[in-house]
Structure 1
Amino acid sequence: MTFPIHDRSPIRFNAPLPARSDVVIIGGGVIGVMTAWFLRQKGLSVTLCEKGRIAGEQSGRNWGWVRQQGRDPGELPIMVESLAIWKQLAAEFGDGLGFRQTGVLYLAKTDREMQGFEDWTEHSRAHQIDTRLLTAAETAAMLKGAVAPWKGALYTASDARAEPWLAVPTLAAAVEDRGAILREACAVRALDIAAGRAIGVVTEHGRIACDHVVLAAGAWSRLFLARHGISIPQLSVLASVAATEPMPEIFPGNAADDDFAFRRRADGGYSIAPGGSEHDFFLGPDAFRSLGTYLSILKKEWRSSTFRPMAPKGFPDAWSTKRRWSEDEATPFEAARILNPAPNLKALGKVQDAFAKAFPSLGRPKLKTAWGGMIDTLPDVVPIVDHAPISGLTIATGMSGHGFGIGPGMGRVIADLVTGGHVGHDLGRFRFARFTDGTKIAPGPSL
């Protein structure tokens, strides 16, 4: 399989659409795929429609971290469950997922960062996670050849990594083997609504009747919901990542400080990216509408972001993107099958320089390839996982760059939410109404 997956990649999933399905899932990322997995376990018929390719967008373009460490406390119980599911999946699929429990290391350059790490360990202790603080000497001992002046680190040995563009399609194929219908290049244009309830979907290839719809469309969710009069303050930021040529192993897992982040890859190289909160934020009509809601995240999460005057043509928040359409005409989802933004090579160049400074014996890493991905986010940096104002519709979006690792656990939660099963977690932090009921919207105590 070539990487990154793009709109010219071969179609792998092309099953005929049924006239009816118990549940239709919109979106073929890790959230949609794992929701289908658990719905099939319950014996429901499931059809998953993906406008482009499975894992073509952020589910195949992320860092590949499977981490409990640093999570928002509202996400943490689901992430603990998710890690357990990842281990079960790895036992079943072996190297097909690239899953390895090699640990996550957050590196601190200041006493303030160390204090933040120490504060977060309160949450790890509450869930009996093996997170611990490391001294400067212990940190240096874990990173071969490092000379950076880190004061210490936060380390969780049980955290893991996997290969996103391998894992999600592998899991999708397994879901199909278990009886789900998966269809790529099949945009859902609209909900079919009667008496205020979603009774089906209208796709570019025809209508599917159903009892429930799950919207797991990532960066496209806001645009789809707005077509039906539902408003959410979701935006997207560009994250740039690169894969290095094979290098000597300096650490088998994942690590990050404010300058750079890296993950060991199965091919012997590293995935590297800007650390901290450096993203590219495109200013479009939705961004201007939501600016007031995002003030807190601009100060905390995106303080190093680069602001660009407009998104590329066809992107969800591009100035020219159509906001209204009829069911019998082509939609923005068909016009841009896969978001494939150009990476910020200047930012990645800084990462190469920072890496070389921290590990001088290795020199400046050579890049094999680089790519960009659009991270869908909400102003409190946690998702919406809740029933929508339209009966029969469940929203699961805004994973804020955390979706790959938490995907299996979140899929189980969503499946139970759809069917009225025992969810087992408090989803109050993720409720749809928090943006209109007077709740103070701000990022939680995550790292």
Structure 2
Amino acid sequence: MSRHTADVVIVGGGLIGVWTAFFLARRKQRVVLIEKGVVGAQSSGTNFGNLRLQGRFPGQYPLSLRSQALWEEIEALIGEDCEFAQTGHLYLAYDDEERAKLEGYAQVSESHGLTIERLGPSDLRKRWPWLSEQAVAATFSARDATANPRLVTPAVARAARALGVTIIENACVTDVERSSGGFSVKTADGAHWSSSALVNAAGAWAVAIAERFGETAPIIPAGPPQFVTEPFPYLVEPSIQSVDGSVIFRQIPRGNIILAGYPRTAADPVNHRAPVPPAKTLAAMRALARVAPILAQCHVIRVWSGIEGYLPDMIPVIGPSLTMPGLFHAFGFCGHGFQIGPGVGLCLSEMIVEGATSTPLEPFSIGRFRESVAVSEKFRKEFDGA
């Protein structure tokens, strides 16, 4: 058995893991990241790519805004822009109940300093005349953005490697234990890593690590189905989303329409598969046609998904273990991880090296699952009967 040491071992090579490795290396830590497949292979590399600030869980805004500031400097941070584009995000409501939900989102956003523009039907027809006339209200946030998820995780991993991070792919962790000096992590190829700190960023597989130290969370593995159409003349600049969650879409400069259709699709974490049933594709295209009839005849040319973890309150677990000093959790991002990834990595690096972070993370404590938590309306809509 080969033995190695590091200051921090990170289990999980998704976006959360690589950003954490990057910021730890900037703080002169010796870091090893262990990934059972390849970096960014699951939801980190297969999501919609939305960097949305509107409609966030209120307790997440300080983290989201800190993260957005990092996204806005991504090329300076890692040397690649990963197709970051600040195109804005348009939320659409189709009845009075949805209008009220939009207004609630807008007020929370504004309370955290985000500028929200409210639009009525006539405003929508003037700005985006190709939208369906059925929308009764909309809100627009110009600061919201997008990036290419297929590019981001590998790019951050390259930047982390350049800072000295050791990234080990295709290595399955077989054992994690507390040792006299910190933690002992073993992999299937016989390697044995010792470290003073351990980051559990293993996504839908993270509970197995938490349970080794007497903690748990009721995680459900699932995947967000994604679709891309043939190229279409460019006309969609912002990301556009129905507030009921039935569809979100954007257009890339090459003309292809990228859309996500909900509810999520079932995932198989044992065989690492998240297939997209044909019915999901048809439902997504029907939802797209209701919002933008001009796109009704676009042809879908590819579908995909990836595995991510969901929790009943649709709030991730971020922060220190409550049972084991030196252990830090970051999992169950419920579709939020892409936007907050840089901020999570920065906050974890601050907690590990400096002992604290200025960004409030109390709402994300794993300790909330010591008792039953309230199940969110969104979770019920997505997973009841799943």
Give the structure-1-normalised TM-score. Answer: 0.78
Offset of residue 383 of structure 1 = 1.0
Q: For 1:182-218, what per-residue CA distance to the aligned partner results, in whole angstroms no more than 9, with x for missing partners?
A: 11101222213236x8422111231011100000011
Q: Does 1:268 align with 2:255?
A: yes
- Within a 5 Å distance, the mapping from 1:366-405 to structure 2 comes to 366-388=299-321, 389-405=323-339
* Structure 2 residue matching 1:37: 3-state secondary structure: helix
Q: Does 1:202 align with 2:202?
A: no
Partner of 1:48: 33
Q: Does 1:90 align with 2:75?
A: yes
Over the aligned positions, Cα root-mean-square deviation in angstroms equals 2.3
- Within a 5 Å distance, the mapping from 1:178-189 to structure 2 comes to 178-189=163-174
Partner of 2:226: 241
CA distance in 1, matches of 2:341, 2:113: 21
Q: Flag the 1:18–1:61 CA change in 2: closer, same or farther, 3 A.
A: farther
CA distance in 1, matches of 2:349, 2:377: 26
Q: Flag the 1:267–1:45 CA change in 2: closer, same or farther, 3 A.
A: farther
Where in structure 1 are there 5+ consecutive unaligned residues? 1-16, 282-310, 317-335
Q: Does 1:356 align with 2:289?
A: yes
Q: Flag the 1:428–1:358 CA change in 2: closer, same or farther, 3 A.
A: closer
CA distance in 1, matches of 2:51, 2:104: 21
Q: Flag the 1:171–1:95 CA change in 2: closer, same or farther, 3 A.
A: closer
CA distance in 2, matches of 1:361, 1:165: 28
CA distance in 2, matches of 1:385, 1:271: 29
- Within a 5 Å distance, the mapping from 1:139-288 to structure 2 comes to 139-194=124-179, 198-205=182-189, 206-257=191-242, 258=244, 259-275=246-262, 278-281=263-266
Partner of 2:109: 124
Give the structure-2-normalised TM-score. Answer: 0.90
Aligned length: 374
* Structure 2 residue matching 1:399: 3-state secondary structure: coil
Q: Does 1:36 align with 2:21?
A: yes
Q: Does 1:57 align with 2:42?
A: yes
Q: For 1:33-59, what per-residue CA distance to the aligned partner results, in whole angstroms no more than 9, with x for missing partners?
A: 111111011110110111001000010
Q: Flag the 1:143–1:91 CA change in 2: closer, same or farther, 3 A.
A: farther
Partner of 1:106: 91
User: Identity of counterpart residues, as a percentage?
Assistant: 30
Partner of 1:70: 55
* Structure 1 residue matching 2:70: 3-state secondary structure: helix
Q: Flag the 1:256–1:24 CA change in 2: closer, same or farther, 3 A.
A: same
* Structure 1 residue matching 2:122: 3-state secondary structure: helix
Moved more, 93-102 or 46-55: 93-102
CA distance in 1, matches of 2:217, 2:341: 21
* Structure 1 residue matching 2:58: 3-state secondary structure: coil
CA distance in 2, matches of 1:102, 1:207: 46
Contact 1:28 1:54 in 2 (8 A): yes
